[in-house]
Amino acid sequence: MLDVNFFDELRIGLATADDIRQWSHGEVKKPETINYRTLKPEKDGLFCEKIFGPTRDWECYCGKYKRVRFKGIICERCGVEVTRSKVRRERMGHIELAAPVTHIWYFKGVPSRLGYLLDLAPKDLEKVIYFAAYMITWVDDEARTRDLSSLEANISVEKQQLEQRRDADLEARAKKLESDIAQLEAEGAKSDARRKVKEGAEREMRQIRDRAQREIDRVEEVFSRFKGLRVQDLEGDELLYREMRDRFGIYFRGGMGAHAIQERLQSFDLESEAASLRETIRSGKGQKKARALKRLKVVSAFLNTTNSPLGMVLDCVPVIPPELRPMVQLDGGRFATSDLNDLYRRVINRNNRLKRLLDLGAPEIIVNNEKRMLQESVDALFDNGRRGRPVTGPGNRPLKSLSDMLKGKQGRFRQNLL
């Protein structure tokens, strides 16, 4: 056990997903807490004895090993270690996420550390994280410059084909109009009937021209957007992005959500960014210089410490010890539980549903919506109410998140530790 009574100094750092897995004693897979009949913790649930330790001193879950003489033995039947129950105050678990999520403290804090690091406005960052816009994470400039002339030739050929098809459609419609008019004249139809047929044909021809022009404009728009594409560009038009990806997908990569942020952070060069910011500070002035100074502060902080920026995007979430989020039986058989258990339950339910959708090969739009909901549930767990409306419990009371457990006079630091 860790002796926390004597220490010389304390450093707070970013916990990466690997750190969280190292602290953990097992993965929490189910949202259940305790069995309502036996009142014992559910296996792989939020109070699981196999992960967090036994609820009674020196006694395993199934009762095969009892008494202190079996100390340290792990029961082969239920997998619970025979030890003191107070380990349930310090043993942690974790939840393996089906999709990465960003840490709300770093993108929604003031100032937004993630925004400063990537040089993105908080509003744009939010669009990417909550699946409202695509972000370009990689562009092969060399290949694009090399193949640009051949791509331009292909686009001009495609435009010519569209124009030829338009002309052929117009010609066919004009011929049909002539034959219709000739037939009406042969039948001795009135001029009103002939005029109506002519107006209808002109309307159809106008629609053919408009449709062809729209298609040509779209091809030009997609190509001009692709030509000016840079890393970290945002694209809110989903149809435009998809068409660009279908046509020129080998020259760039992009995405939505925390996965796009994670990919961008993996290729982010802190040292070259710090050098370019110092150059901007030397040569720039006014607002540009002030922003560069603020950004350099964040970049330098990452360079001077051992923290990796990838810690701002999580692949797994820590589950704090069950004794710090207790469940107490009241008179009349009802239970009072910590708000954290409800918040953890939301995360596990959404995570399991996302895993199921990914296994089924569900459409991208449904998967993205589930990923957004998972991001929102992790946000509520870390800091409920920081973004949007807080998650509420009975009586519309906002649930207390991990941040609320730490801050203030009644928080973990001032109440218990200091």
The 3-state secondary structure of 185-242 reads HHHCCCHHHHHHHHHHHHHHHHHHHHHHHHHHHHHHHHHHHHHCCCCCCEECCHHHHH
pLDDT of residue 106: 93
Q: Do both 67 and 148 map to the same domain? A: no
Q: Do both 88 and 154 map to the same domain? A: no
Q: Do both 156 and 231 map to the same domain? A: yes
pLDDT of residue 146: 94
105 found inside a domain:
no
Q: Do both 383 and 323 map to the same domain? A: yes
Q: What's the rounded Cα separation, in Å, for the pair 116 and 14?
A: 17
Q: Do both 317 and 368 map to the same domain? A: yes
295 found inside a domain:
no
Which backbone phi and psi does 239 adopt, to 5 degrees? -65, -40
Residue 69's CB is within 10 A of a number of other CB atoms, namely 9
Q: Do both 90 and 143 map to the same domain? A: no
Could you say which of 255, 273, 295 is where a domain stops?
Answer: 255
Supply the range of the domain harboring residue 393: 17-95+312-417
β-partners of residue 213 are none
116 found inside a domain:
no
Q: Do both 77 and 177 map to the same domain? A: no
Could you say which of 255, 275, 300 is where a domain stops?
Answer: 255
120 found inside a domain:
no
Q: Do both 319 and 223 map to the same domain? A: no
pLDDT of residue 197: 85
3 found inside a domain:
no
278 found inside a domain:
no
Could you say which of 233, 255, 277 is where a domain stops?
Answer: 255
Q: What's the rounded Cα separation, in Å, for the pair 285 and 27?
A: 52
Q: Sheet harboring 252-255: ordered strands across?
A: 234-235, 134-139, 252-255
Q: What's the rounded Cα separation, in Å, for the pair 138 and 143?
A: 12
Q: Do both 214 and 322 map to the same domain? A: no
Token pair, residue 57, equals 């001193």
233 found inside a domain:
yes
pLDDT of residue 305: 87
When divided into structural domains, the chain yields a total of 2
Q: What's the rounded Cα separation, in Å, for the pair 200 and 283?
A: 65
Q: Do both 144 and 237 map to the same domain? A: yes
Q: What's the rounded Cα separation, in Å, for the pair 233 and 246?
A: 18
Name the residue with tokens 């340290």: 72
Q: Do both 88 and 147 map to the same domain? A: no
The enclosing H or E element of 93 equals: strand 92-102
The enclosing H or E element of 49 equals: helix 49-52
Instruction: Taking the CA atoms of 302, 308, 310 and 314 in sequence, report the sign of the dihedral they define.
Output: negative
Token pair, residue 397, equals 């009371």
Written as tens digits, the pLDDT of the chain (418 aa) is 456 667 777 788 889 999 999 999 999 999 999 998 888 999 999 999 999 999 999 999 998 999 899 999 999 999 999 999 999 999 999 999 999 999 999 999 888 999 999 999 999 999 999 999 999 999 999 999 999 999 999 999 999 999 999 999 999 998 888 888 888 888 777 778 878 888 888 999 999 999 999 999 999 999 999 999 999 999 999 999 999 999 999 999 999 999 999 999 999 999 999 999 999 999 988 899 999 999 999 999 999 987 899 999 999 999 999 999 999 988 887 889 999 999 999 999 999 999 999 999 999 999 999 999 999 999 999 999 998 899 999 899 999 999 999 988 988 888 877 6
Q: What's the rounded Cα separation, in Å, for the pair 388 and 376?
A: 10
279 found inside a domain:
no
pLDDT of residue 2: 57
Q: Do both 86 and 149 map to the same domain? A: no
